[in-house]
Structure 1
Amino acid sequence: MSKLITSIDEKTKSFIEAQQMFFVATAAADGKINLSPKGTDSFRIISPTQVAWLNLTGSGNETAAHILANNRMTIMMCAFDGKPNIMRIYGSAKAIYEQDEEWATYGPLFKANTGSRQIFLVDVQHIQHSCGMAVPLYDFVEHRDLLDIYHDKKGRQKVKAYWEEKNMTSLDGLPTGQKL
Protein backbone atom coordinates (compact mmCIF):
# COMPACT_ATOMS: atom_id res chain seq x y z
CA MET A 1 0.00 0.00 0.00
CA SER A 2 1.25 3.44 -0.81
CA LYS A 3 1.06 6.41 1.53
CA LEU A 4 0.76 9.99 0.28
CA ILE A 5 1.78 12.91 2.52
CA THR A 6 2.34 16.62 1.89
CA SER A 7 5.44 17.28 3.98
CA ILE A 8 8.55 15.59 5.34
CA ASP A 9 7.67 13.95 8.65
CA GLU A 10 10.20 12.42 11.05
CA LYS A 11 9.95 8.94 9.52
CA THR A 12 10.55 10.35 6.03
CA LYS A 13 13.40 12.54 7.29
CA SER A 14 15.11 9.50 8.84
CA PHE A 15 14.68 7.53 5.63
CA ILE A 16 16.15 10.35 3.50
CA GLU A 17 19.13 10.82 5.80
CA ALA A 18 19.97 7.10 5.59
CA GLN A 19 20.12 7.01 1.76
CA GLN A 20 23.39 7.03 -0.17
CA MET A 21 21.87 7.95 -3.54
CA PHE A 22 18.78 9.39 -5.14
CA PHE A 23 17.30 9.72 -8.60
CA VAL A 24 15.98 12.89 -10.25
CA ALA A 25 13.42 12.94 -13.09
CA THR A 26 12.40 15.95 -15.18
CA ALA A 27 10.79 16.58 -18.57
CA ALA A 28 9.87 19.48 -20.80
CA ALA A 29 6.51 19.39 -22.58
CA ASP A 30 8.13 17.61 -25.54
CA GLY A 31 11.34 15.72 -26.07
CA LYS A 32 13.30 13.38 -23.90
CA ILE A 33 12.56 12.58 -20.27
CA ASN A 34 15.66 12.85 -18.08
CA LEU A 35 16.32 10.46 -15.20
CA SER A 36 19.63 10.82 -13.37
CA PRO A 37 21.20 8.99 -10.42
CA LYS A 38 22.85 11.27 -7.86
CA GLY A 39 25.35 10.37 -5.16
CA THR A 40 27.84 11.97 -2.79
CA ASP A 41 26.70 14.15 0.07
CA SER A 42 24.53 16.37 -2.14
CA PHE A 43 20.99 16.34 -0.68
CA ARG A 44 19.59 18.57 2.06
CA ILE A 45 16.26 18.90 3.80
CA ILE A 46 15.61 22.64 4.16
CA SER A 47 12.21 22.38 5.87
CA PRO A 48 9.28 19.93 5.95
CA THR A 49 8.18 21.36 2.58
CA GLN A 50 11.48 22.15 0.88
CA VAL A 51 14.62 20.24 -0.14
CA ALA A 52 17.74 21.19 -2.08
CA TRP A 53 20.40 19.27 -3.91
CA LEU A 54 23.76 20.24 -5.33
CA ASN A 55 24.21 19.43 -9.01
CA LEU A 56 27.74 18.73 -10.17
CA THR A 57 29.06 19.33 -13.68
CA GLY A 58 28.39 16.42 -15.98
CA SER A 59 28.15 15.56 -19.62
CA GLY A 60 24.73 17.17 -19.99
CA ASN A 61 22.58 19.74 -18.24
CA GLU A 62 19.15 18.31 -19.00
CA THR A 63 17.68 18.99 -15.57
CA ALA A 64 18.35 22.72 -15.82
CA ALA A 65 16.81 22.91 -19.31
CA HIS A 66 13.72 21.02 -18.23
CA ILE A 67 13.22 23.16 -15.12
CA LEU A 68 13.31 26.31 -17.27
CA ALA A 69 10.67 24.83 -19.57
CA ASN A 70 8.56 23.10 -16.91
CA ASN A 71 9.49 23.30 -13.24
CA ARG A 72 8.19 19.85 -12.26
CA MET A 73 10.69 17.51 -10.61
CA THR A 74 10.40 14.06 -9.09
CA ILE A 75 13.07 12.82 -6.69
CA MET A 76 13.12 9.12 -5.85
CA MET A 77 14.99 7.27 -3.15
CA CYS A 78 14.66 3.56 -2.51
CA ALA A 79 15.89 1.30 0.24
CA PHE A 80 18.63 -1.02 -0.95
CA ASP A 81 19.03 -2.35 2.60
CA GLY A 82 16.76 -2.75 5.61
CA LYS A 83 13.00 -2.39 5.39
CA PRO A 84 11.72 -2.06 1.80
CA ASN A 85 10.58 1.43 0.81
CA ILE A 86 10.39 3.57 -2.30
CA MET A 87 9.91 7.27 -1.65
CA ARG A 88 9.10 9.86 -4.29
CA ILE A 89 9.11 13.60 -3.71
CA TYR A 90 6.94 15.43 -6.22
CA GLY A 91 7.56 19.14 -6.43
CA SER A 92 8.39 22.29 -8.30
CA ALA A 93 12.02 23.29 -8.64
CA LYS A 94 14.23 26.18 -9.56
CA ALA A 95 17.94 26.40 -10.26
CA ILE A 96 20.20 28.59 -8.14
CA TYR A 97 23.59 29.61 -9.55
CA GLU A 98 26.64 30.91 -7.69
CA GLN A 99 25.97 34.40 -9.12
CA ASP A 100 22.46 34.43 -7.57
CA GLU A 101 21.86 36.04 -4.18
CA GLU A 102 20.29 32.80 -2.91
CA TRP A 103 23.61 30.99 -3.36
CA ALA A 104 24.82 32.71 -0.18
CA THR A 105 22.00 30.96 1.69
CA TYR A 106 22.13 27.51 0.12
CA GLY A 107 25.73 27.12 -1.10
CA PRO A 108 27.22 26.84 2.43
CA LEU A 109 24.94 23.86 3.13
CA PHE A 110 27.18 21.77 0.87
CA LYS A 111 30.88 20.96 0.91
CA ALA A 112 32.78 23.18 -1.54
CA ASN A 113 33.23 21.37 -4.85
CA THR A 114 35.14 22.50 -7.96
CA GLY A 115 32.42 20.92 -10.12
CA SER A 116 29.44 22.66 -8.49
CA ARG A 117 27.12 23.77 -11.28
CA GLN A 118 23.86 24.73 -9.58
CA ILE A 119 21.66 23.98 -6.61
CA PHE A 120 18.11 22.88 -7.25
CA LEU A 121 15.64 24.13 -4.66
CA VAL A 122 12.50 22.00 -4.63
CA ASP A 123 9.18 22.98 -3.09
CA VAL A 124 7.56 19.72 -1.96
CA GLN A 125 3.99 19.18 -3.13
CA HIS A 126 3.56 15.50 -2.28
CA ILE A 127 5.62 12.62 -0.96
CA GLN A 128 4.66 9.08 -1.77
CA HIS A 129 5.96 6.01 0.05
CA SER A 130 5.38 2.64 -1.58
CA CYS A 131 6.40 -0.89 -0.71
CA GLY A 132 9.64 -1.50 -2.61
CA MET A 133 9.41 -5.21 -1.95
CA ALA A 134 10.91 -6.04 -5.36
CA VAL A 135 13.89 -3.67 -5.02
CA PRO A 136 17.03 -5.81 -4.65
CA LEU A 137 19.23 -5.69 -1.59
CA TYR A 138 22.67 -4.13 -2.08
CA ASP A 139 25.57 -3.38 0.23
CA PHE A 140 26.92 0.16 0.07
CA VAL A 141 30.71 0.15 -0.19
CA GLU A 142 31.62 3.81 -0.61
CA HIS A 143 30.99 6.91 -2.69
CA ARG A 144 33.16 7.26 -5.76
CA ASP A 145 35.45 10.29 -5.74
CA LEU A 146 36.36 10.12 -9.43
CA LEU A 147 34.21 13.10 -10.46
CA ASP A 148 35.67 15.28 -7.71
CA ILE A 149 39.21 14.27 -8.72
CA TYR A 150 38.41 15.02 -12.36
CA HIS A 151 37.00 18.48 -11.56
CA ASP A 152 39.84 19.36 -9.19
CA LYS A 153 42.39 18.37 -11.84
CA LYS A 154 40.66 20.57 -14.45
CA GLY A 155 40.20 23.54 -12.12
CA ARG A 156 37.23 25.87 -11.89
CA GLN A 157 38.03 27.91 -15.02
CA LYS A 158 38.24 24.81 -17.24
CA VAL A 159 35.04 23.46 -15.68
CA LYS A 160 33.31 26.71 -16.66
CA ALA A 161 34.77 26.45 -20.17
CA TYR A 162 33.26 22.96 -20.34
CA TRP A 163 29.85 24.44 -19.43
CA GLU A 164 30.16 26.87 -22.31
CA GLU A 165 31.02 24.06 -24.70
CA LYS A 166 28.68 21.29 -23.48
CA ASN A 167 26.11 22.57 -20.94
CA MET A 168 24.33 25.52 -22.58
CA THR A 169 21.63 23.50 -24.38
CA SER A 170 19.90 20.20 -23.74
CA LEU A 171 19.89 17.16 -26.00
CA ASP A 172 16.65 18.53 -27.45
CA GLY A 173 18.21 21.96 -28.08
CA LEU A 174 16.53 23.71 -25.13
CA PRO A 175 18.45 26.45 -23.31
CA THR A 176 19.70 25.39 -19.89
CA GLY A 177 20.03 28.86 -18.35
CA GLN A 178 23.57 27.97 -17.30
CA LYS A 179 25.38 31.04 -16.02
CA LEU A 180 29.10 31.35 -16.69
Structure 2
Amino acid sequence: MGKVYEEIDEKLARFIADQRMFFVGTAPNNPDGRLNVSPKGHDTFRVLGPKTVGYLDLTGSGVETIAHLRENGRMTIMFCAFEGRPLILRLQGRGRVVEPRDDEWATLSPRFPDTPGARAVIVLEVERIADSCGFSIPLYDYQGERTQLIDFAVKKGEDGLEAYRRQKNVASIDGLPGLEPSEATADER
Protein backbone atom coordinates (compact mmCIF):
# COMPACT_ATOMS: atom_id res chain seq x y z
CA MET A 1 0.00 0.00 0.00
CA GLY A 2 2.63 2.56 1.01
CA LYS A 3 5.57 3.70 -1.06
CA VAL A 4 8.83 5.46 -0.18
CA TYR A 5 10.20 8.01 -2.67
CA GLU A 6 13.72 9.25 -3.29
CA GLU A 7 12.57 12.83 -3.93
CA ILE A 8 9.53 15.01 -4.51
CA ASP A 9 8.76 14.45 -8.18
CA GLU A 10 6.25 16.36 -10.34
CA LYS A 11 3.37 14.06 -9.38
CA LEU A 12 3.98 14.51 -5.66
CA ALA A 13 4.51 18.27 -6.10
CA ARG A 14 1.11 18.50 -7.85
CA PHE A 15 -0.53 16.52 -5.04
CA ILE A 16 1.03 18.85 -2.46
CA ALA A 17 -0.05 21.95 -4.39
CA ASP A 18 -3.64 20.66 -4.57
CA GLN A 19 -3.97 20.28 -0.79
CA ARG A 20 -5.51 23.19 1.06
CA MET A 21 -4.33 22.07 4.48
CA PHE A 22 -1.33 20.28 5.95
CA PHE A 23 -0.23 19.21 9.41
CA VAL A 24 3.12 19.80 11.12
CA GLY A 25 4.36 17.51 13.88
CA THR A 26 7.28 18.22 16.23
CA ALA A 27 8.44 17.15 19.68
CA PRO A 28 10.86 18.40 22.31
CA ASN A 29 13.79 16.30 23.55
CA ASN A 30 12.31 16.00 27.03
CA PRO A 31 10.19 12.82 27.18
CA ASP A 32 7.80 14.66 29.51
CA GLY A 33 7.48 17.55 27.03
CA ARG A 34 4.39 18.02 24.95
CA LEU A 35 4.21 16.77 21.37
CA ASN A 36 2.84 19.28 18.91
CA VAL A 37 0.64 18.80 15.86
CA SER A 38 -0.40 21.99 14.09
CA PRO A 39 -2.82 22.30 11.17
CA LYS A 40 -1.81 24.88 8.57
CA GLY A 41 -3.79 26.50 5.78
CA HIS A 42 -3.81 29.39 3.33
CA ASP A 43 -1.40 29.51 0.40
CA THR A 44 1.68 29.09 2.57
CA PHE A 45 3.43 25.88 1.41
CA ARG A 46 6.10 25.59 -1.30
CA VAL A 47 8.22 22.80 -2.72
CA LEU A 48 11.65 24.47 -2.81
CA GLY A 49 13.56 21.56 -4.34
CA PRO A 50 13.42 17.78 -4.78
CA LYS A 51 14.21 17.26 -1.08
CA THR A 52 13.45 20.70 0.39
CA VAL A 53 10.11 22.26 1.28
CA GLY A 54 9.03 25.27 3.26
CA TYR A 55 6.04 27.11 4.56
CA LEU A 56 5.30 30.64 5.64
CA ASP A 57 4.68 30.57 9.38
CA LEU A 58 2.03 33.05 10.50
CA THR A 59 1.73 34.71 13.89
CA GLY A 60 -0.39 32.64 16.24
CA SER A 61 -0.96 32.12 19.93
CA GLY A 62 1.84 29.59 20.28
CA VAL A 63 5.36 28.89 19.10
CA GLU A 64 5.75 25.14 19.62
CA THR A 65 7.01 24.23 16.15
CA ILE A 66 9.67 26.95 16.20
CA ALA A 67 10.79 26.06 19.74
CA HIS A 68 11.05 22.35 18.93
CA LEU A 69 12.96 23.02 15.72
CA ARG A 70 15.41 25.26 17.56
CA GLU A 71 15.98 22.46 20.08
CA ASN A 72 16.33 19.42 17.79
CA GLY A 73 15.13 20.10 14.23
CA ARG A 74 12.89 17.01 14.01
CA MET A 75 9.73 17.56 12.01
CA THR A 76 7.11 15.69 10.01
CA ILE A 77 4.75 17.39 7.58
CA MET A 78 1.67 15.42 6.59
CA PHE A 79 -0.79 15.97 3.75
CA CYS A 80 -4.17 14.17 3.55
CA ALA A 81 -6.37 14.08 0.48
CA PHE A 82 -9.82 15.16 1.62
CA GLU A 83 -11.00 15.31 -2.02
CA GLY A 84 -10.32 13.01 -4.95
CA ARG A 85 -8.11 9.94 -4.79
CA PRO A 86 -7.29 8.88 -1.19
CA LEU A 87 -3.67 9.46 -0.18
CA ILE A 88 -1.59 10.46 2.82
CA LEU A 89 1.90 11.87 2.24
CA ARG A 90 4.48 12.34 4.99
CA LEU A 91 7.66 14.39 4.64
CA GLN A 92 10.07 13.69 7.49
CA GLY A 93 13.38 15.39 8.16
CA ARG A 94 15.20 18.27 9.79
CA GLY A 95 13.61 21.67 9.93
CA ARG A 96 14.95 25.13 10.60
CA VAL A 97 13.52 28.57 11.22
CA VAL A 98 14.26 31.57 9.00
CA GLU A 99 13.11 34.85 10.54
CA PRO A 100 12.83 38.24 8.79
CA ARG A 101 16.07 39.37 10.48
CA ASP A 102 18.01 36.42 8.94
CA ASP A 103 19.97 36.90 5.68
CA GLU A 104 18.18 33.96 4.04
CA TRP A 105 14.81 35.72 4.46
CA ALA A 106 15.55 37.93 1.43
CA THR A 107 15.82 34.90 -0.88
CA LEU A 108 13.10 32.74 0.68
CA SER A 109 10.27 35.16 1.44
CA PRO A 110 9.63 36.18 -2.22
CA ARG A 111 8.63 32.56 -2.94
CA PHE A 112 5.56 33.04 -0.73
CA PRO A 113 2.62 35.45 -0.92
CA ASP A 114 2.98 38.71 1.00
CA THR A 115 0.79 37.65 3.92
CA PRO A 116 0.01 39.83 6.95
CA GLY A 117 1.33 38.27 10.15
CA ALA A 118 4.19 36.31 8.58
CA ARG A 119 6.76 35.71 11.31
CA ALA A 120 9.10 33.10 9.77
CA VAL A 121 9.67 30.63 6.98
CA ILE A 122 10.01 27.06 8.18
CA VAL A 123 12.31 25.04 5.92
CA LEU A 124 12.38 21.24 6.00
CA GLU A 125 15.30 19.30 4.53
CA VAL A 126 13.43 16.10 3.73
CA GLU A 127 15.09 12.81 4.68
CA ARG A 128 12.12 10.50 4.07
CA ILE A 129 9.17 10.82 1.71
CA ALA A 130 6.45 8.20 2.12
CA ASP A 131 2.80 7.79 1.26
CA SER A 132 0.07 5.56 2.59
CA CYS A 133 -3.40 4.69 1.37
CA GLY A 134 -5.62 7.21 3.14
CA PHE A 135 -8.59 4.86 2.72
CA SER A 136 -10.01 5.85 6.12
CA ILE A 137 -9.79 9.63 5.55
CA PRO A 138 -13.28 11.11 4.99
CA LEU A 139 -14.22 13.18 1.96
CA TYR A 140 -14.86 16.88 2.58
CA ASP A 141 -16.01 19.70 0.34
CA TYR A 142 -13.80 22.77 0.44
CA GLN A 143 -15.80 25.94 1.14
CA GLY A 144 -13.04 28.53 1.38
CA GLU A 145 -10.33 29.92 3.60
CA ARG A 146 -11.11 31.32 7.02
CA THR A 147 -10.08 34.97 7.19
CA GLN A 148 -9.80 35.45 10.95
CA LEU A 149 -6.01 35.00 11.26
CA ILE A 150 -5.24 37.41 8.41
CA ASP A 151 -7.86 39.88 9.69
CA PHE A 152 -6.29 39.66 13.16
CA ALA A 153 -2.83 40.46 11.75
CA VAL A 154 -4.10 43.38 9.67
CA LYS A 155 -5.98 44.83 12.65
CA LYS A 156 -2.95 44.50 14.96
CA GLY A 157 -0.54 46.09 12.48
CA GLU A 158 3.23 45.59 12.69
CA ASP A 159 3.64 47.23 16.11
CA GLY A 160 0.72 45.30 17.55
CA LEU A 161 2.03 42.02 16.13
CA GLU A 162 5.47 42.69 17.60
CA ALA A 163 3.91 43.27 21.03
CA TYR A 164 1.75 40.14 20.65
CA ARG A 165 4.80 38.04 19.71
CA ARG A 166 6.67 39.37 22.76
CA GLN A 167 3.74 38.26 24.90
CA LYS A 168 2.87 34.89 23.27
CA ASN A 169 5.77 33.68 21.08
CA VAL A 170 8.96 34.05 23.13
CA ALA A 171 8.71 30.59 24.76
CA SER A 172 6.89 27.31 24.15
CA ILE A 173 4.38 25.87 26.61
CA ASP A 174 7.27 23.77 28.00
CA GLY A 175 9.49 26.84 28.38
CA LEU A 176 11.73 26.28 25.34
CA PRO A 177 12.99 29.39 23.52
CA GLY A 178 10.78 30.50 20.63
CA LEU A 179 10.98 33.75 18.70
CA GLU A 180 13.21 36.60 19.74
CA PRO A 181 11.20 39.66 18.68
CA SER A 182 13.51 42.52 17.73
CA GLU A 183 12.15 44.76 20.46
CA ALA A 184 12.02 42.15 23.25
CA THR A 185 14.16 43.09 26.21
CA ALA A 186 16.07 40.64 28.37
CA ASP A 187 13.38 41.05 31.06
CA GLU A 188 10.66 39.97 28.60
CA ARG A 189 12.45 36.73 27.62
Question: Normalised by the size of structure 2, how large is the TM-score?
Answer: 0.93
One-letter identity of the residue aligned with 2:69: I
Is contact 1:68–1:177 with CA below 8 Å preserved after alignment? no
Q: Deviations over 1:124-161 (max 9, x none)?
A: 11111100000000001111111111110110111011
Larger relative contact order, structure 1 or 2 (CA cutoff 8 Å, min sep 6): 1
Could you list the runs of 4 or more consecutive aligned residues of structure 1 that deviate by over 6 angstroms after TM superposition? none
What does 1:144-155 align with in structure 2 at a 5 Å threshold? 144-155=146-157
Question: Normalised by the size of structure 1, how large is the TM-score?
Answer: 0.97
Q: Tell me which moved more, 170-179 or 146-155.
A: 170-179
Is contact 2:63–2:179 with CA below 8 Å preserved after alignment? no
Give the gaps of 5 or more residues in structure 1: none
Secondary structure class of the residue paired with 1:75: strand
Is contact 1:42–1:55 with CA below 8 Å preserved after alignment? yes
Give the gaps of 5 or more residues in structure 2: 183-189
One-letter identity of the residue aligned with 2:28: A
One-letter identity of the residue aligned with 2:93: G
Matched, 1:87 2:93: no
| Count of aligned pairs | 180
One-letter identity of the residue aligned with 1:2: G
Equivalent in the alignment of 1:173: 175
Is contact 1:7–1:48 with CA below 8 Å preserved after alignment? yes
State the shift of 1:11 in Å: 1.5
Q: Tell me which moved more, 164-173 or 104-113.
A: 104-113
Q: CA RMSD in A?
A: 0.9
One-letter identity of the residue aligned with 1:40: H
One-letter identity of the residue aligned with 1:12: L
Q: Deviations over 1:33-89 (max 9, x none)?
A: 000000000000111110010000001000110001110110000000111000000
